[in-house]
Amino acid sequence: MDGSVELRKFDWKDIEAVTRLFSRLGGTEGTEKEADTELVRQTLSHPSASPEDNLTLALSGGRLIGFYQLFPEVPIGRAVVASGALTEFRHGDAARRLLSAAIEQVEALDVGVLHIQASGDDDHTREMLESEGFRSVKDYWQMRWEGGELPPLSMRPNFSLRPFRLGQDEAVLTDLQNSAFGEHWGFCPNTVEEIAARVRIKNTDPNGIIFVMDGDRPAGYNWTLRNENRYGKIGFVSMTGVHPDYRGNGLGTAVVVSGMRYLQERGVSAVELEVDSENTPARELYRKLGYCQVHHSVWYERRFP
C-alpha cells in the first residue's frame, strides 16, 4: 500500500539517497556493479542531464521510493525516460503517478515520440505502458563474458591501434561516434561538450577508449567502462563503432577484442554489454567471443500528435 506519495524535483542534497535507490532498483546493490555517490554525481552533472529539471523523485512518508529521469533528445524529435519504484510500491499509485508526470513533462517538449526501456519479463510495467498508449518496438539483449582465451588481433597492415588522448581527441571521438551511429535506431548525435564530459567520468579511463586508425584517420573505436568496488571489478563494452567507409574490413572484431584485452589486463574477469537483438552481425560477433545472453529488455514507444 503506497500511502501518500509525494513527487518533487531532485535537489543535490538527495545525492546519497538517490545513489542507494539507483543501486536497489538496478539490482546492483552489493555487487561489483554497485555505483558510488561520486560516480552518480558525475553522471548527473553531465551537460545533457539537468537533474534539477529532469529528475523527479517519489517519496512516501519522507522515504525515497522511486524516480523518473527525462532525457530530452530534441534534435531527433524524441525523449527517453528511465524510471522505477521499489518493489513494494510498484503495483500501487507511485509507478502510475511517475509515468503520468513523465508523459506530462514530455508533452511540453517539441518532440514527437517518447521511449521507455523496461525488463523483458516485467509484465506489470508492460501492462501499465500499454494502457497509456505505448507499444513495444525494440528488443535488446544483455550479454556477459566471464573469461576465456581471446582470439588474436587480426587487422590489415595499414591499420593500427591507439588509445584516446584526453584533451586532444574529444572532437575526433565525437565525429567518429556520430558517423558510426548516425543511422542507428534511437541515436541522438553527440556534441563535443557532451563527449568531453563523458570521457572524464570516473568509470572511463582514456586508455580504455581505443581507436583503430587508418594512417591518421580513425576508422573505428571501442569505448570500455570499468567499475571497481569492495565486491570486485567488472567491465563494460559501452560503445563499439566502425565508420561507414570502413565497414566490411573485419574491424568490429578487432576493436572489441582490443577493448576486452584492456579490461582483462586490469583484472576484470567479467564484461557485459547490450546489443539490439535484430543486429545479427554484432550479436553473432559477441557470441563467437564467448558472450552469453543473460537478460533482455524491451523498448516501448508512444507517439504524440
pLDDT tens figures, 24-46: 999 999 999 999 999 999 999 99
pLDDT of residue 217: 96
Vertex 118: Cα angle to 97 and 255 (nearest 5): 140
Q: Are strands 78-85 and 113-119 parallel, antiparallel or unpaired?
A: parallel
Question: What pLDDT score does 4 carry?
Answer: 87
Average pLDDT of the residues in 59-81: 96
Instruction: Tell me if 99 is assigned to some domain.
Output: yes
Instruction: Confirm whether 12 is domain-assigned.
Output: yes
122 belongs to a structural domain: no
Indicate if the pLDDT at residue 49 is higher than 50: yes
118 in a domain, yes or no? no
Residues 161, 50 share a domain: no
The mean pLDDT of 103-121, rounded to a whole number, is 96
Give Cα 175 to chain centroid, integer Å. Answer: 19
What is the distance between the alpha carbons of residues 274 and 262, in angstroms, rounded to a whole number? Answer: 19
Instruction: Note whether 81 and 114 are within 8 A (CB).
Output: yes
Q: CATH number of the domain that 155 lies in? A: 3.40.630.30
Please give the average per-residue pLDDT across 19-23, as a whole number: 98
Is residue 137 in some structural domain? no
- Predicted confidence (pLDDT) at residue 2 exceeds the cutoff of 70: no
Task: Give me the pLDDT at residue 1, please.
Answer: 45
Give the model's pLDDT for residue 3: 60
Establish if 136 belongs to a structural domain.
no
**Structural domain tally of the chain?**
2
Asked if residue 162 and residue 101 are part of one domain, the reply reads no
Residue 140 lies in a domain: no
pLDDT value, residue 200 = 98
Give the residue from 67, 85, 111 where a domain finishes.
111
What tens digit of pLDDT does each residue of 144-192 get?
A: 999 888 999 888 889 999 999 999 999 999 999 999 999 899 999 999 9
Give residue 14's domain range: 5-111
Q: Which residues contact 131 (CB under 8 A, 6 or more apart)?
A: none
| Whole-number average pLDDT of the chain | 95
